[in-house]
Every structure is written in C-alpha cells, then in structure tokens.
Amino acid sequence: MKVKMILPALTEAESPFWRPIKYSLFPPLGLATLAAYLDPDDLVEIQDQHVEELYLDDEPDLVVIQVYITNAYRAYNIATHYRQKGAYVVLGGLHVTSLPQEAMPYADSIFLGPGEDTFPQFLQDFKNGTPQKTYRSPIRTLAGLPPVRRELIKRNRYLVPNSLVVTRGCPHHCDFCYKDAFFEGGKSFYTQLVDDALAEIERLPGRHLYFLDDHLLGNVKFATALFDGMRGMNRVFQAASTLDGILRGNLIEKAAEAGLRSVFVGFETFSPENLRQSNKRQNMVNDYQKAVNRLHSLGIMINGSFVFGLDHDNTDVFKRTVDWGVQQALTTATYHILTPYPGTRLFKEMQKNGRIMTRNWNLYDTRNVVYQTKGLSQQELKDGYDWAYREFYSWRNIFRASLRHESDKHKLKHLLYSGGWKKFEPFWNFLIKTRGLNHMLPLLEAILSKVKPASSPSMANPEPVKLVLAGAEKS
C-alpha cells in the first residue's frame, strides 16, 4: 500500500522569498509516530510543507493529513485534491478534534484526540474494507508504542531534528488551552514507560534534545526516573515546565543535572484576576521571581511565555511585561495575543457572550485580535503586542538582559541565543534555502553547554520590579 502523510503549512511558512526560522525547527513527529504502525511492506512518505514543496501528482492509496487551526483551509484543499484522485483520506489533529463537523466533509475518516490507539485500529479496519467514519478512543496508553519512524524525517531540513515527546497532555486545565478539548473522553495526562523514553533518547544521534512535551515535569515520579536515567548520557536538552514544576521539590535540580539548559515557562500574566479568570491556578500560588532565580542559579536559560488581551489587562501591560522580562534576564520571550481556540472553554464563553469577531481560522495565529476585547481596544492590543516584540528584542534590551547574569559565560550565551534567534533572520533564511540548517547544531549545543551555577542573575545590582502577583505586591 502507498501511504502519504502530510503536514500542510500556513501560507506564510512556504514563501519562496522569506522562510522564518520558526517553521523549520521541528519535524512532524506526530506523523512519524503514526507511521510506526504501518506495515513494513507499505511504501510511506512524509511531506512537511513547512520545509518542502508538496508533490501532489502522485497516486497514494491512503493519505493522512495533520490539521491545525491555521493550516486548516489548506489541509481541506489537499484532502479534496486526493479524494478526487481516488485516495482514501483521513484527517486528524487539534483542529479536527475541536471541530469534527467542519472537517468531516473533507475526509473519509476523521480522528479525534490522540491517534496512538485509534490509528492501528483504523489500519486494521481499512485492510478489512470496513473503515469507520470517526475514530475516538477512550483508551490512553503509550505502553508498547513502536519506535518513531525517524528515517522518514528529512533531518537536514530542521534546526532541531532531535525533538521528542515522552508524555501526552498536561495535568492542568487552563481555559485558553487546547489540551482539554483534545483529550476529552479519556486521560488527559499520561506518560511513556521510563525505559521506553530512555531507549528513544539512546537512539537519537548527537547531544542535543528538545522535549516537546507540554509539561515535562508534570509527573514527578516519571520525571525523576527519566532524569536519573539521563544522568551520564552527556545530553543537553530544552523542555517546557509550569512554575509549580520548577518550584516543587528538587525536580528542577535533577533536570539540570541530566542536561536541562533552557526551559519554556508559561508566566502568561501578572494579574491575579486574569489568572483566576483563565483557571491558571498553578501560577496563582507561585512566586515568579523565585522560579526565575532558581532557574538562573542552575544556569538554565528561560523562554518566558506571556499572553496579552486578557480581560483585566490595560495599556500598561505591555511595558510592564517587557520591563520585567528584561530585568529578570529572560533569554527569550514569546508573546501571544489571547486567542480563543475552538473547543476551549474560553471560546465557548466568548461565543456565549457574542465576543467572537471572526471565524477565519487563518487569523487564529496569536498575532491577530479575533475577539471583542475589554480592557484594551483591539488596536491597542495589536499595537502593544507588536511593540512588545520590537522592544524586548531591541539590541539595547538584549544587552541589558544579558548583562544581568553573573558569569561571563552566561552573559555570552544569552547574547548569542537571544540575538541569534531574532536578529539574524536573513542568515536563517539563507540556511533554510541552502538546506544547511543542520550544520548549526554544534553551535546550538555549544550555546547550551553548562554554565557554572550562580547565586542568581545580576542580583549584584538589582533593579526594583513592581509587580502584583497572586494578590501580593512584590518589589
């Protein structure tokens, strides 16, 4: 059987003139994971439109398309194209799970939620000539997961080919997050067997790893065993955690010993009202400053995530957030305009109150305002968001933030990572076009090398930061 697996891109990602690096970071791991269930005799190809031009003149028997919100229209067009050619087309992913009725007309079968249990069942049904229209499995397990078909990934087209996911979901329930809708009807947080995760790590070449798990530290028992098992493997890795994961017990120290060098942290907002409204309880009881100090004392770089446009934001939120990030020496910041993804509690609430302004999914990219705002006008929100990115990544602020670290090595790492990420887009564009991205891995590994733990960032010369966290004024 000929099988084609496709990850369509949003329009911007395939411009022949300009290829932002963010679209060439990670390979389509989800498709490579599902490919492992195919028969060894099947002829399978994975095409990722973010890094290659799609070839649409072929004649596969089965087409599997992964759909997320901003590639949805394109995914439907590709599905229609292949169905007209007689292929059997299946659609799955976050957007299909959120809006099955929308996706259904474009597919022969749809997958709701994670596919590890349902895809093998579908393949069996397909071979027997009895495929169902919809697959949703309440069984959630990663036990017995076959090895990801990494040989189908074109490694040289990605900056971070060694990405992996060893858990699924997250133990928390933030209102704006897709997670609850995706995992509805079964467990919403579960892990691989530790031995399987370690075996997958062993199979990956080089030193660098990027865990794409929503919350790698979410299950203490699993994470402890994983980090213990990784000690001595000489790896450097990046991952995501919540604030409570960082502050709980000594897990973050274990992660650092295992090679954690950079972590994505969802700070999201400084307003207790916003946290409460978003059901982001795990941030309410935690001290942002303490988490930052602890990470820096371990030599771990921080990518802080922030959301603008929550109902209790006003026009000073942008400056306060950028200033705080610079003063706390965050290496990178990811800003988002609040986006009510379909299927989330936020979307349902906004829809009930008539606040959804458009259902053009192309605009649901966290860079556009798609809902009726409250504390800010739509223009103020968009302008403030754009300003925040420009300001945080100005050379002045990159230098200011890097100088706040104690050790020279950490200062240099900060400068290279933050500057390299946002200030050398033409260089990245050149590497993407010349397929040379993979050659940058040794440099990335060098930047992520260990720094001698310091007491805290730049605390030799602290600037006072006025913040309101969890109802308490801190300075």
Binding site for ligand SF4 (CB under 6 A): 170, 172-174, 177, 179, 214-215, 242, 266
Whole-number minimum distance, CB 175 to ligand SF4, in Å?
A: 9
Q: For residue 144, give the amino acid letter.
A: G
Report d(CA 156, CA 179) in Å as an integer: 31
Whole-number minimum distance, CB 284 to ligand SF4, in Å?
A: 12
Report d(CA 344, CA 458) in Å as an integer: 40
Report d(CA 237, CA 217) in Å as an integer: 13
By beta-carbon proximity to ligand SF4, the closer residue of 62 and 142 is 142
By beta-carbon proximity to ligand SF4, the closer residue of 173 and 290 is 173
Whole-number minimum distance, CB 179 to ligand SF4, in Å?
A: 5
Whole-number minimum distance, CB 183 to ligand SF4, in Å?
A: 10
By beta-carbon proximity to ligand SF4, the closer residue of 6 and 177 is 177
Whole-number minimum distance, CB 169 to ligand SF4, in Å?
A: 8
Whole-number minimum distance, CB 181 to ligand SF4, in Å?
A: 11
* Per-residue DSSP letter, 211: E
Contacts of 376 (CB under 8 A, 6+ apart): 309, 313, 314, 315, 317, 384
Whole-number minimum distance, CB 105 to ligand SF4, in Å?
A: 30
By beta-carbon proximity to ligand SF4, the closer residue of 34 and 170 is 170
Tokens of residue 274, six digits: 């916003």
Whole-number minimum distance, CB 211 to ligand SF4, in Å?
A: 13
Burial of 45 (0-12, 13-18, 19+ CB in 10 A): middle
Element (H, E) at 267: strand 260-268
Report d(CA 253, CA 241) in Å as an integer: 13
Report d(CA 131, CA 82) in Å as an integer: 18
CA triple 64-70-72, angle to 5 deg: 40
By beta-carbon proximity to ligand SF4, the closer residue of 24 and 344 is 344
Whole-number minimum distance, CB 276 to ligand SF4, in Å?
A: 14
By beta-carbon proximity to ligand SF4, the closer residue of 281 and 290 is 281
By beta-carbon proximity to ligand SF4, the closer residue of 8 and 342 is 342
Q: Give the pairing of strands 88-92 and 163-164.
A: unpaired
By beta-carbon proximity to ligand SF4, the closer residue of 272 and 419 is 272
Contacts of 51 (CB under 8 A, 6+ apart): 23, 24, 154, 157, 158, 432
Reading across the β-sheet that carries 332-337, which strands appear in turn? 163-164, 208-211, 236-241, 260-268, 301-308, 332-337
CA-wise closest residue to 310 among 318, 319, 302: 318
By beta-carbon proximity to ligand SF4, the closer residue of 64 and 177 is 177
